């Protein structure tokens, strides 16, 4: 190449690089940090969930049309994946304006680290009057409010395929004990339903286990989440594991490879009759155009008829966010009647407010709203971040993942109780469920 051409090329290249850097820096420096944006993180990524969060954002944008909403959805049910992403962000001072979180213990690490702003002013008299006391207390630490609930999901729900039960003469209303439930499963098996119960991956199994704990008694559940079940030979603990072992004999063998919504879809396709899942599953039936009471139905997990297992999603105001005003605007919309009535009918949950417009809700939710008012006890879910320290939740998931493959009750019970003892100092909340 001619030296002169080389020289020209070098100059052009340098000009491009320097120009590029120059323009980049100018853009970064001159652009105000997205003055009118709201950045939120959530894990609502499946079909029904996505539609629900879009409806909530639509309410926000009707009120604040100039604000750009930046969503960062992170796949992974129950937020296992997202929490691993959020913690380093918050620690590094790069927290989004609000992020989805479960009420209760899940917010505690942030509260302990002084990374949350108190939002007592958002909890005005109207909101306090509209939200039940127990839900209110799940959003508090040391007497102050740090989050607002967007919904209430029930976790102790058995979903069923109505045709399969009707064809085999099973009345779901009678399935109030495990022995009756297992007898129904036997009937279905004899009728050619190979795996009457459908279950999904690890966290789904842990979710199911939690319902077994509740089914042996609310007092035992209370002890369990207060870190007081520390004996590997505890009869109630072994009783719960015993039920789970029997339950597993009716479960699909490929459970470990199924996402929760795939397991639920097996009911829609008629491959299975029962599925224990929180009532976010209703969204899957909804988008499949199935009718509650006609194609599918629900009943409380056997033994938990008088209980409402709580999974509550909430949002908070992290300290030092880029758009504090929008963060607070978002929290107000999330807590508002309009926001909750837009989100919850699609999501399959019920509003955390008792003044919800029930006409907007589907048949399932109407029944759930009635149950919510009628039950004697409520319990915060462990698997969904509320009931017990996070470390316990992570460990529980792994222990149950082993259990559902080896069905070794005593190994699981001893792993569970010894870990409870090991992290006893992390049980800082004292729950009173009765």
Partner 1 sequence: MKRKRISRKIFTKDRIIIQFIFLISVLLVGYFVYISIGWNVVVSLSDWEGLVPSYNIVGFDQYINLLGDPVFLTSLMNNILLMLIFVPCTLFLGLFLAILLDQKVRKEAVFRTIYLLPFTLSFVVTGFLWRWMYNPSMGVINTLLEITGLEFLKSGWITDPNIALFCVIVSLIWQFAGYAMLIFLAGIRSIPESHIMAAEVDGASGFQLYKRVIIPQIKASTFTAFVVLMVFALKAFDFIYILTGGGPGYATEILPLTMYKETFAMTHFAYGSAIATVLFLLVMAIVVPYLYSTYRRK
Is 55 a binding residue for partner 1 by CB under 8 A? The answer is: no
142 binds partner 1 (CB under 8 A): no
> How many residues lie near partner 1 (CB under 8 A)?
34
For the residues of 58-103, what is the DSSP string, one character each? HHHHHH-TTPEEEEEE--SGGGHHHHHHHHHHHHTT---SEE-EES
**Residue 260 contacts residue 200 (beta carbons within 8 Å):** yes
Under the binding rule (CB under 8 A), the answer on residue 414 touching partner 1 is: no
315 three-class SS: strand
Radius of gyration for the alpha carbons in the chain, expressed in angstroms and rounded: 24
Cα separation, 110 vs 90, in Å, equals: 8
Q: Binding segment for partner 1 among 80-88, 123-131, 147-155, 229-237 (CB under 8 A)?
A: 80-88
Member of 166, 167, 254, 357 binding partner 1 (CB under 8 A): 254
Among 253, 289, 432, 434, indicate the residue that binds partner 1 (CB under 8 A): 253
Single residue of 53, 57, 69, 90 touching partner 1 by CB under 8 A? 90
Orientation angle between helical segments 390-406 and 202-215, nearest 10 degrees: 100
- Comparison of 202 and 365: residue with beta carbon closer to partner 1: 202
Q: Are 256 and 404 in contact (CB under 8 A)?
A: yes
Q: Is 398 in the site for partner 1 (CB under 8 A)?
A: yes
Kindly state whether residue 80 participates in binding partner 1, applying the rule CB under 8 A. Answer: yes
Which residues in 268-287 contact partner 1 (CB under 8 A)?
none
List 276's β-bridge partners, or say none. 158
Q: Are 310 and 152 in contact (CB under 8 A)?
A: yes
Using the contact rule CB under 8 A, the part of the chain among 15-23, 110-118, 131-139, 374-382 near partner 1 is 110-118
Number of neighbouring beta carbons within 10 Å of residue 183 = 14
Taking the least distance from each CB to partner 1, the nearer of 110 and 220 is 110
Question: Binding segment for partner 1 among 10-18, 82-90, 124-132, 139-147 (CB under 8 A)?
Answer: 82-90
Among 32, 88, 143, 192, binds partner 1 (CB under 8 A): 88
* Burial letters 132-168, b for 16+ CB under 10 A, else e: bebbbbbbbbeeebbbbbbbbbbbbbbbbbbebbeeb
Facing residues of 314 across strands? 101, 149
- Residue 191: CB minimum distance to partner 1, A: 21
- Complex with partner 1: residue 187 or 402, whichever CB lies closer: 402
Q: Is 7 in the site for partner 1 (CB under 8 A)?
A: no
Enumerate binding residues for partner 1 (CB under 8 A). Answer: 80, 83-84, 87-88, 90-91, 109-110, 112-115, 202, 253-258, 390-391, 394-395, 398-399, 401-406, 415, 426
């Amino acid at each position: 190449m001619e030296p002169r051409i080389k020289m020209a090329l070098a100059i052009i290249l340098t000009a491009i690089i320097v120009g590029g850097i120059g323009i980049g820096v100018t853009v970064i420096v001159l652009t105000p940090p997205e003055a009118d944006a709201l950045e939120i993180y959530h894990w609502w990524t499946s079909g029904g969930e996505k539609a629900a969060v879009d409806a909530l954002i639509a309410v926000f944008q009707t009120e604040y049309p100039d604000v750009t909403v930046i969503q960062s959805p992170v796949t992974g049910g129950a937020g296992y994946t997202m929490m691993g992403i959020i913690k380093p962000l918050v620690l590094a001072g790069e927290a989004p304006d609000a992020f989805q979180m479960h009420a209760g213990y899940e917010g505690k690490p942030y509260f302990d680290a002084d990374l949350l702003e108190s939002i007592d002013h958002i909890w005005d008299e109207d909101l306090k009057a509209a939200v039940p006391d127990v839900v209110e207390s799940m959003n508090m630490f040391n007497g102050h409010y740090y989050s607002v609930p967007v919904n209430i999901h029930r976790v102790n729900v058995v979903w069923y395929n109505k045709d399969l039960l009707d064809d085999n003469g099973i009345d779901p209303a009678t399935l109030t004990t495990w022995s009756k439930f297992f007898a129904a499963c036997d009937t279905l098996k004899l009728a050619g339903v190979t795996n009457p119960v459908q279950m999904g991956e690890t966290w789904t199994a842990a979710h199911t286990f939690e319902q077994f704990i509740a089914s042996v008694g609310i007092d035992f559940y209370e002890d369990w989440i207060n870190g007081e079940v520390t004996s590997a030979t505890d009869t109630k603990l072994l009783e719960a594991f015993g039920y789970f072992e029997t339950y597993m004999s009716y479960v699909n063998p490929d459970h470990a490879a199924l996402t929760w919504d795939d397991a639920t879809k097996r009911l829609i396709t008629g491959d299975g009759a029962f599925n224990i899942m929180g009532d976010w599953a209703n969204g899957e039936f909804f988008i499949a155009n199935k009718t509650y009471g006609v194609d599918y139905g629900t009943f409380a997990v056997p033994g938990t008829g008088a209980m409402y297992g709580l999974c509550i999603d909430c949002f908070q105001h992290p300290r030092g966010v880029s758009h504090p005003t929008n963060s607070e605007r978002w929290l107000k919309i999330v807590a508002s009647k309009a926001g909750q009535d837009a989100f919850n009918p699609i999501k399959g949950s019920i509003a955390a407010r008792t003044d919800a417009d029930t006409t907007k809700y589907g048949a399932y939710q109407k029944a759930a709203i009635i149950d919510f008012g009628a039950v004697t006890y409520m319990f915060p879910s462990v698997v969904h971040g509320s009931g017990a320290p996070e470390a316990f939740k992570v460990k529980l998931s792994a222990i149950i993942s082993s259990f559902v493959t080896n069905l070794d009750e005593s190994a699981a019970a001893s792993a569970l109780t010894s870990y409870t003892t090991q992290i006893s100092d992390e049980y800082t909340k004292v729950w009173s469920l009765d």
